[in-house]
Structure 1
Amino acid sequence: MRSVDELTAAELLDGLPSRVHEVYAPFVRDIPDHPAFMEGGRSWSYRKFSEAVDAAAKYLADLGIRPGDRVMIASENSVALGAMLFAASKLDAWGITVNPRLSAREIDLIGTHSGARRVLFNAALSKEAADHASRVGAKIDAVGPFGGIGIGPLNADAPAEPVEKDGKRQVAGLLYTSGTTGAPKGVMLSHRNLLFTAKTSGILRQSGPADRIYGVLPMSHIVGYTILLIATLMHGGTLYVVAKADPAALAHAIAEEGITSLFGVPATYQRLLEHKAVKGIQRLDRGKLRVMAVAGAPLDLDLKKRIEDEFGIPLLNNYGITECSPGLSGVRSEHPVSDESVGPFLPGIEHRIVDRQGKKVATGEVGELHVRGPNVMLGYYRAPELTAAAIDGQGWFNTGDLARVNGEGHLYIAGRTKELIIRSGFNVYPAEVEAVLNAHEQVVQSAVVGRPVDGNEEVVAFVQLLPGASVSAEDLKAYTAQQLTSYKRPTELIVLEALPSASTGKILKHKLREMAIERAGAKSPGAVAAG
């Protein structure tokens, strides 16, 4: 197999199918009995999975799903989720994956904004999905061979979007981020966006039918959706489906179940080492593991060295963003590095690094990273003004990240121009958390910042209360738990008499961040752990 750097963008685009559900067809034909998935000890062959997708597509059509409709699926990682996403593709509907651990408020915001024709809940797999299904009066039924699926009511008023014959213009997936305003933003990713990244990813990692990929990152987020689900089936591998992260189960799978490829966030590897220490394991068994990749948060170099020493293979750092499907750069296995580089850009990805005036900076200097390529989203759904602000007339997408490129072409991320917090690989936008806190009747204002911890970031909230307020930090903890999914909840809630501000009234978040870091590990009145 040629290395990814020997291929041009044109070669990567050549031969791509029109729709994502077509990626596994060659393996249904050539190796029909080869396992496409392993889930809970059960194997799903390529033939069996293809039949399941066909049956799910027929059922969705019977439910009134039309080409151009949006179909929202709340599910933990599962074969059922994969089948329903590919079934939506067969119908030319848009698949929307959401984590069932989102709160009712978050689920409903996405459903309303997207104009979803139906919302499906994998109630058989998690209590959270079952609770959501019950809340909306969903009927529990089987979708193809998958039982225990909650079928939400038909949104008869939802208009169907136009269908494009060309896969580069037709939306395959609508993935939601909260956005810096706290309102949901739907990222429209075309079939070509996803297929281009999936093909590149498989070649980058030299994937093939002999590979067994550990699917721990959620398919409700872009890496799990593209790099794990689509790319695995596009290259004939086997996806080991994992509903919830468990370091003990991961260690066992690597040692005993033939896992060859692991893609995680830094916290995935941090918890693996913690499991080793707690259990007193002398050395974790590497088994057949040959590729370890990481993305989603800054990689601590001490963690990188420790995990590489443990398994004897490099931990390959990568960089991407939902709006870019997500892959932009990655360290190559044949050229590992010892620093924090996120590797060279992938083929087909143009980049420029500019200063505040939009002028290109010199090699090695830090500036704002803009990219262009076949992986860049079509835009934000129902938000033309946001799309115009993110993608200029020449197709350049502003990542909002500060970066530099060295003389060898390696990319380094210096920071974020946005206030985005990345917690265990999940995006947390301070504005959304602040909006929830500010809605409390006894809260004057709030400010949320990120605080670095080992291989991760955590959420810290500062709150100013009304004079004479009776609400406590514990009360606010319970309040946010009802409104926000677990990874968005503040780790620490700190009540201040007043939030530091400039003469303009703007809250000085850099001072709060400094305060949060100073308080790390300290217990004091007015601060409580919240998740």
Structure 2
Amino acid sequence: MTNARPWLAQYPSGIPSEINVDEFPSIVSVLDAAIANYRDRPAFSNLGKTLTYGDIDRLSAQFAAYLLGELKLKKGDRVAIMMPNCLQYPIATFGILRAGLTVVNTNPMYTARELRHQLVDSGASVVLVMDNFGHTVQEVLADTQVKQVITTGLGDMLAFPKGPIVNFVLKYVKKMVPDYDIPGAIRFRDALTLGQMHSLPDVDIEASDIAFLQYTGGTTGVAKGAMLTHRNLVANMQQAAAWVGGNIKMGEEIIVTALPLYHIFALTANGLVFMKFGGLNYMITNPRDMPAFVKELKGVPFTAITGVNTLFNGLLNTPGFDEIDFSRLHLTLGGGMAVQRSVAERWKQVTGNTLVEAYGLTETSPAACINPMTLEEYNGAIGLPIPSTDACIKDENGNPLPQGEVGELCIKGPQVMKGYWQRPEETAAVIDVDGWLHTGDMARMDEKGFFYVVDRKKDMILVSGFNVYPNEIEDVIAMMPGVLEVAAVGVPDEKSGEAVKVVIVKKDPSLTAEQVKAHARENLTGYKQPKIVEFRKELPKTNVGKILRRELRDETAPH
């Protein structure tokens, strides 16, 4: 087998070729161990308030007891969470998992159309939503199976008087909380209080139970729920922890968590791996406000940070970032999208720390390949398959290709999802009979076992690390009466890596680009909205009339 895994020879010393997947039977047992070892250590910090592992234990148990005792939820029921990084997030997530239920992570920026699909598809019976997004939930509630809505304000877990002030400013000064009215909704803090009246029963959680339904776009444009089991996430936590653990000081790490915890990258890499290390997740609620982000970092002796290329690029271009004390920083992990060489080199220059690129997918919980932590500088590779992971390159007929040849990257390991929620055909289309997950990314492997992503097989557009599927954009734009035909493609963009461009053939000659953008704003999250709108007489097509997105893409590619 060793010959088939040339990457093992490149592993830095001390990293095992296999991890023990069975050390922890569930995410809950990882949490229990962290609570036992680090009860009084800080676990999560946000907006000036810090919760210890003991606080997380107490509060998540209250939330779990509320869900089971008060709402009478049954094992396997789905609970949706719709909020940015804040203290409520870990309390709710660990509470849901401790109750034997499944977390449905929901992007708070979703439009009503996107949210409706996810709630209906997952069959969520409870939604926990931050006030800023309550109006979206109100709009779709009648179409879903949701029985209980729990609402909360960003300041609700903060100390007095800061909490109420934060809530007041957001609503009345910054006008960031549109009015909404959801009869029967309960406040998060009241749910915790009710939970105290119930004892938390012993819940039997199995490794094969679904911990998260993590929605990811599909080539069909309809978001599908990747079923990530406790075993999947524990395995990926063990893999990543073994990989990055060399310089870790148990109970002393502080990781900057600026990527949303509802995204699989931060969820596993920050939320789980650093919980195993007894570390502190320092949560940034709005990383888009770069000046405030940099100001906050100046007061934090952080040791690790994860991000996507756009986040690192934004920080490097924000005044004051180079004045931060980076003396304790020993881990910078980039994923979610390709890290650009220029950004990686500047990061090393400013912070003294190598930006290590990793590769993963929602379907692999997410990490599949990571570069060695001993890397001196950026190498352009996505790294080596991590412990207990196999990777290979296959041709269109599923036959393995020799090293150096470009084909589809396929992954096998304990972190590969159970499948797509209630979509057996789509699951069979990506996981073959031998258990290989077909990633849809075109890649090659060099003689040392390093993998390089060359291009995407799918027409997916990657905006700041978020997947954008052309079909979804096209479906939305095609709803406009003035549009005859539309194609969506990704075009290079300095800030976000790629941006969405739509090419339209008009039905109504008076249709304007601004009308198209306004329609997109109503129906699509910010990162999915077209930045460029172009009108043409016709679109390039195959002989059977299929629009050739590739040709449109090639025209805009840098030559």
Confirm or deny a common fold (TM above 0.5): yes
1:258 aligns with 2:298: no
1:118 aligns with 2:159: no
Q: Which residue of 2 aligns with 1:21?
A: 28
Q: Which residue of 2 aligns with 1:73?
A: 81
* 1:6 alignment partner, SS class: coil
CA distance in 2, matches of 1:381, 1:153: 29
Q: Percent identity?
A: 30
CA distance in 1, matches of 2:53, 2:530: 42
CA distance in 2, matches of 1:258, 1:152: 44
CA distance in 1, matches of 2:106, 2:184: 17
1:213 aligns with 2:255: yes
Measured against aligned partners, the alpha-carbon deviations of 1:288-321 in whole angstroms (never above 9, x if no partner) come to: 2221110111222122111111111211010001
The 10-residue stretch of structure 1 (498-507 or 221-230) with the greater mean CA deviation from structure 2: 498-507
Q: Aligned-pair distance for 1:511? A: 2.5
- Contact (CA 8 Å) 2:38, 2:251: kept in 1 or not? no
**Cα 1:170–1:472 shift into 2, 3 Å:** same
The normalised TM-score by structure 2 is 0.84
- Contact (CA 8 Å) 2:240, 2:386: kept in 1 or not? no
Instruction: Select the residue among 452, 457, 461 that pairs with 1:412.
Output: 452
- Contact (CA 8 Å) 1:121, 1:130: kept in 2 or not? yes
Q: Which residue of 1 aligns with 2:135?
A: 131
CA distance in 1, matches of 2:290, 2:20: 35
Q: Which residue of 2 aligns with 1:383?
A: 423
Q: Which residue of 1 aligns with 2:330?
A: 290
The alignment's C-alpha RMSD in Å is: 2.6
- Contact (CA 8 Å) 1:247, 1:268: kept in 2 or not? no
Instruction: Select the residue among 461, 466, 470 that pairs with 2:502.
Output: 461
Letter in 2 for 1:224: A
- Contact (CA 8 Å) 2:126, 2:149: kept in 1 or not? no
Q: Which residue of 2 aligns with 1:189?
A: 228
CA distance in 1, matches of 2:429, 2:552: 29
Structure 2 counterparts to residues 169-248 of structure 1, below 5 A: 169-206=208-245, 207=248, 208-245=250-287, 246-248=289-291
Q: Aligned-pair distance for 1:65? A: 2.2
* 2:54 alignment partner, SS class: helix
CA distance in 1, matches of 2:84, 2:111: 14
Q: Aligned-pair distance for 1:247? A: 2.6
- Contact (CA 8 Å) 1:266, 1:294: kept in 2 or not? yes
Measured against aligned partners, the alpha-carbon deviations of 1:337-364 in whole angstroms (never above 9, x if no partner) come to: 4320111110100122112232221112
Letter in 2 for 1:458: A
Structure 2 counterparts to residues 98-497 of structure 1, below 5 A: 98-123=106-131, 127=132, 129-135=133-139, 167-206=206-245, 207=248, 208-245=250-287, 246-276=289-319, 285-454=325-494, 456-466=497-507, 468-497=508-537
CA distance in 2, matches of 1:151, 1:341: 49
**Cα 1:203–1:463 shift into 2, 3 Å:** same
* 1:407 alignment partner, SS class: coil
- Contact (CA 8 Å) 2:82, 2:106: kept in 1 or not? yes
Measured against aligned partners, the alpha-carbon deviations of 1:158-190 in whole angstroms (never above 9, x if no partner) come to: xxxxxx967332100001112111112110000
* 2:314 alignment partner, SS class: helix
Letter in 2 for 1:58: A
* 1:399 alignment partner, SS class: strand
CA distance in 2, matches of 1:152, 1:309: 54
CA distance in 2, matches of 1:438, 1:347: 45
CA distance in 1, matches of 2:291, 2:240: 27
CA distance in 2, matches of 1:107, 1:216: 23
Measured against aligned partners, the alpha-carbon deviations of 1:111-131 in whole angstroms (never above 9, x if no partner) come to: 0111111222122xxx2x232
The 10-residue stretch of structure 1 (482-491 or 255-264) with the greater mean CA deviation from structure 2: 255-264
- Name stretches of at least 5 consecutive residues in structure 1 with no aligned partner: 155-163, 521-531
CA distance in 1, matches of 2:488, 2:337: 18
Letter in 2 for 1:202: A
The normalised TM-score by structure 1 is 0.88
- Contact (CA 8 Å) 1:73, 1:98: kept in 2 or not? yes
Q: Aligned-pair distance for 1:15? A: 1.2
CA distance in 1, matches of 2:468, 2:50: 35
The 10-residue stretch of structure 1 (412-421 or 493-502) with the greater mean CA deviation from structure 2: 493-502
- Equivalenced residues, count: 498
- Contact (CA 8 Å) 2:15, 2:242: kept in 1 or not? no
* 1:25 alignment partner, SS class: helix
